[in-house]
Each structure stands twice: as structure tokens, then as C-alpha cells.
Structure 1
């Protein structure tokens, strides 16, 4: 299967979505007593070490907004396949449902673990970002 969205663009979405998902929620307070103390009494490292950076969301939103209607529907359909909502054999149905979705960009940005499910959706069609190298 050859997606209408360039694989480089799909991989860039995955990369930026990972950065977006790794940010500290706005209610996080560094002055609070940590609840992730390990057995040695040291604070365990948190996955959420990045400060909230609105430019990451803006860049991700910009990438998604720049896609054509059929491409944004395709990204959403890949996510749904990766999340298990649809099977790869139901691609036509997933794509049709994604095309009918109201606000696809918001749907994607609110999707839990968007980077992982998009990557899993690509893998369902033997597509991978492994050969893309480091994207800027």
C-alpha cells in the first residue's frame, strides 16, 4: 500500500506527536513533594521532564493543517487501525469514516498516544519510519 501522504510527513507527525505527548501538564508544580521516590529515597526520573512548549503543539497543528483533506483523513484512519478500532483489512471503511469525521485535526490532537497508534497503523501496512533517519 502506498499512502497518499508522504511517509516523511507521516514520520514527522509521529516525531512531533511524541514531543507533544511528553510535555508536562499545565497543573504540574515543581515545588510539590514528589510521589515518585524510589527505594533509595531518591526521586525517580520522570518521563514528563519537558516543560510545556506551545511551539511543539503549534508545529504539530501546522503540519496537520497543511495536509489535504484526503491526507488528514488518511492519518486519522492509520491511527484508528493502529488503535484497533479498525483492522487493516477494513482500510476502506476506516478511510471513509475518517473522511466523514467533523474536525479531524482536533480528533488527532486529542487522541491518546497518537504517535504510538499512528506508528502501529503504519506497521499494519508494513510501513515504517526506521529508514527515515533523524527528522528535524
Structure 2
């Protein structure tokens, strides 16, 4: 009978230990689930941060491209403006040249007329 009492006591101890381990396992499972949830939230935040970072990079690339286009267009506009100014100057010079030629022709005509009048009066 003492042998049976020892076995019963051992069974109680083993049962108590099994219950304690089940409770501990439940706590561990709860902690694992909690940590998994935290990992998922952190992963979501990381993905969102990565998406924001990539969008920022895309915006920077786009702005850089736009800036280069603006620089090119500005340079082209300056060159075109300079060309137009040169063309205007050339036109003014042509007008001045034509006026000079016209004035010289008038002067030549006037000189010839004066010379004829002098020869007639002499």
C-alpha cells in the first residue's frame, strides 16, 4: 500500500508539473503571438517608410530632370535672344547703309547739278 501511495504522490507531482508547464506554454504562446504582432506592425511601418523613400527618390529624379530641361531651355532662349538681337542690328546696319547710299547718290546728283550750273554761268 505504501507503494501505491508513493505512486499517487508521484502522479500528483507529475500532474501539477504538467499543469504548470501548460500554463507556462500558454504564456509563451501569448508572448510569441504578441511578438509576431509587433513584428508585423514593424514590417508594415518599414514597408511604408520604404515606399515613402522611393517616392521621394522618384520626385528628386523628376525634379532633377525638370531642372535640366529648364537649364537647357534657358540656354536656348538666351541664344535665340542673342540671335534676334544680332539680326536686329544687321537690319539697322542695312537700313543705315541704304540711307548712306541714298545720301551719296543725292550728294552726287547735287554736285553734278552744281557743276553744270557753274559751267553754264561761267
Asked if Structure 1 and Structure 2 have the same fold, meaning a TM-score greater than 0.5 normalized by the shorter chain, the answer is no
TM-score of the aligned structures, taking structure 2 as reference length: 0.20
Q: Which has the larger radius of gyration?
A: 2
Q: TM-score, normalised by structure 1?
A: 0.18
